[in-house]
Structure 1
Amino acid sequence: MPHTIAEIAQALGLRAEGALDLAITHAAEPAQAGRDALAMAMDPKYAAGLAQGQAQAAILWDGADWQALGLKAAVFAPRPRWAMAGISELLDPGYDFGAGIHPQSFIHPSARVADGACIGPFTSIGARAVIGPNARIAPNVTVAEDVVIGADVILHAGARIGARVRIGDRFIGQPNCVVGGCGFSFVTPEPSGAEDVRASLSGERQVRAQKWHRIQSLGAVRIGDDVELGANSSIDRGTIRDTVIGSGTKIDSVCQIGHNVQMGEDCMMCGMAGVAGSARIGNRVLLAGKVAVNDNIFVGDDAIVGGASRVFTNVPAGRAVLGDPATKLETQLEIRKIIRRLPRLVANVAKLQDAVFGPDRKG
């Protein structure tokens, strides 16, 4: 559905100039924008692309000369990415989940589905499950027994929700996510080789044949409101207590959260990151891509963990860490500077050895 520039500016709370009645149908990059597109040119480096495209209107950086750029109208965005969030929400056509309960879905007779919920074909809703108002559940989703799902939840195709999981309102589960799989917990009759190494912090251990025995996951998973779980990501159920994800937390694709993890509110966990069992993550923590958090440690409120870091010890609240093993950001940057100097240092040491021992030294 077309939107006028005036409607877009009002929806985003931004200033607009020019032909405010100009209608656009979609957003586009400047060079690919047609006459009915809103060009995304929120930084001066994108200005050249406007001349290559045919856009009549654009979202521009604050203070841009829209007329000199050959436009008929412009919306000005002091904070570009915030404006991007608003415009993407306004123009998003969404997904077609259909209406009502598809006849090829299976709803257990004891399950309760609230008004306005949509359930797609080949989806299974288990015994005593509760599906909240206006939930939208795509095809090929599995919701197990005794699950409670809140209002306005979206479960995309292939999502799997395990038994006794509790999910709050407005949860978004991207395709093939899994909530409530069994935790990865195993034990051997005698102390395992891994336990010996961990206790001694050396390679010395008693080598013996061992068989692994599963520790069953008696807990479940509790998820707050406004949480998003990315495609192919998983959250394991707890061993005794529930695994908990706080409200507002956003988890990217291909992430793993182990059993018993307690994650706070408004956290962000980027792609391929993992949190091992029984770790505690505070509120508003950022775990960048490929971060690994060790089991049974604590990451404090407002901590930031840089990409590909390996966190083996507790992280105090508010600290930014980086590296493997993760250290304070400023410490890690100094370490990396020193590493870059190593070839020159080795060469200098070789020259000193030549001066002291002669070029024919051995070793």
Structure 2
Amino acid sequence: MPVTIAELAQALDAQSWGEQSLQVTGAAEPDNVQPVEGDGGVIALAMSPKYADALKPGCMAILAEGMDPEAYGLRAAIFAPRPRLVMAGLTRAFDPGPDIAPGIHPSAVIDDSAQIGEGAAIGPFVVIGADVVIGPGARIASHVSIGRGSRLGRDAILHAGVRIAHGVTAGDRLIVQPGASIGGDGFSFVTPEESGIEEIRRTLGERAEIKAQHWTRIHSLGGVEIGDDVEIGANSTIDRGTIRSTRVGSGTKIDNLVMLGHNVVIGDDCLLCSQVGVAGSARVGNRVVLAGKVGVNDNITVGDDVIAGGASKIFTRVPAGRVILGNPAVRMDTQMEIQKAVRRLPRMAQQLARLQETVTRLLEKG
């Protein structure tokens, strides 16, 4: 539904200017926004001068504080004190969410013991197992499956093709993007005798004898526990615990293609970007940011407020508050010095070669 400039500014907790009654029907980049015709139209996102240069006279726009709407010939404007935060509110206002019809689709298969909260919407070909509890206001898209005894809080949104295994517990306002899988078995196996992996960990690479080995499954008896306001990206996977549950804290946001192993603990308000992998039994503190392709070794601890740069490989414990980068990950300033030294290596090799030639000639003369 369209909203007026005045209503949108109030919803975004921002100041407005110009024709307050103009109706906003959507948002777009300045290049794609035409002047307002009639009572309203699309608002342009022009929150810095480099974007505002593309504005056409007669438009509506969201500007950064301090920008002059009259200079751009606008009919109305909203001023963003913190542009990306305003973007969050704006996109929320115009996002219709997944197309899930109210009620329960007749093709859904729901066990008689399952409890479905008031106002929940369940799409076609959904399968809900025994003793599942779905909170009020949940929206479950097509081809989702939810296993025995799992519990979802209120206002969950599960997009198409999500797989939630048995014994998964999630808080309120969970969002899971298409194809994600929560609660699959952990990758945990053992050999009757000491395995080659255990041997090289003990000897740091020395192998006495290479023998045939047979892997025996360690079954996953734990579940997955997820807090409130968690988002899980498309095709991400979270393994269930071996004995205790794998845990994801409240407010944590997980990008696409992220892998969390069995018994992992992720704290509150973390940000895990695409292709992050956290190995079994690792513990990640609160407010940690792991950039794309970061890997975390098994059985280590990453402290609160750590930020790991892209493609960092974390093999040892990281103290709270540290900013790290590289493979193996070290303090970011140390890694920058390492990179500078690496860039100097070709020149240093040339200098060493000339020095060797000089020494050789001196020795020959001597």
Q: Same fold (TM over 0.5)?
A: yes
Residue 168 (str. 1) matches residue 186 (str. 2): no
Q: Is the 8 A contact 1:140 1:159 kept in 2?
A: yes
Post-superposition shift, 1:203? 4.4
Cα distance, 1:205–1:224 mapped onto 2, change above 3 Å: farther
TM-score normalised according to structure 2 size: 0.95
Residue 222 (str. 1) matches residue 230 (str. 2): no
Structure 1: tracts of 5 or more residues without a match: none
Q: Is the 8 A contact 1:112 1:131 kept in 2?
A: yes
Q: Which residue of 2 aligns with 1:183?
A: 186
Of 97, 103, 122, which residue of structure 2 is paired with 1:119?
A: 122
Q: Which residue of 1 aligns with 2:50?
A: 45
TM-score normalised according to structure 1 size: 0.96
Deviations 1:21-45 (A, max 9, x none): 2222111011111332111111122
**Count of residue correspondences:** 359
Structure 2: tracts of 5 or more residues without a match: 36-40
Residue 99 (str. 1) matches residue 137 (str. 2): no
Residue 27 (str. 1) matches residue 27 (str. 2): yes
CA distance in 1: counterparts of 2:64 and 2:253, whole angstroms:
28
Post-superposition shift, 1:351? 2.4
Of 259, 264, 268, which residue of structure 2 is paired with 1:261?
A: 264
SS of corresponding position for 2:219: coil
RMSD: 1.6
Residue 243 (str. 1) matches residue 215 (str. 2): no
SS of corresponding position for 2:27: strand
Of all paired residues, the percent bearing the same amino acid is 56
Residue 329 (str. 1) matches residue 343 (str. 2): no
1:271-310 equivalence runs, <5 A = 271-310=274-313
Deviations 1:79-125 (A, max 9, x none): 11111111111111222211111110001011111111111110000
Matched AA of 1:128: D
Matched AA of 1:237: R
Cα distance, 1:357–1:243 mapped onto 2, change above 3 Å: same
Cα distance, 1:358–1:27 mapped onto 2, change above 3 Å: farther
Cα distance, 1:34–1:350 mapped onto 2, change above 3 Å: same
CA distance in 1: counterparts of 2:8 and 2:145, whole angstroms:
38
Q: Is the 8 A contact 1:38 1:55 kept in 2?
A: no
Matched AA of 1:306: G
Q: Which residue of 1 aligns with 2:346?
A: 343
SS of corresponding position for 1:196: helix
CA distance in 2: counterparts of 1:64 and 1:358, whole angstroms:
70
Deviations 1:157-202 (A, max 9, x none): 1011111111111100110111100000011111111111111112
Cα distance, 1:111–1:84 mapped onto 2, change above 3 Å: same
SS of corresponding position for 2:69: coil
Deviations 1:311-356 (A, max 9, x none): 0000001111110000011111111111111122122222222333
Q: Is the 8 A contact 2:98 2:159 kept in 1?
A: no
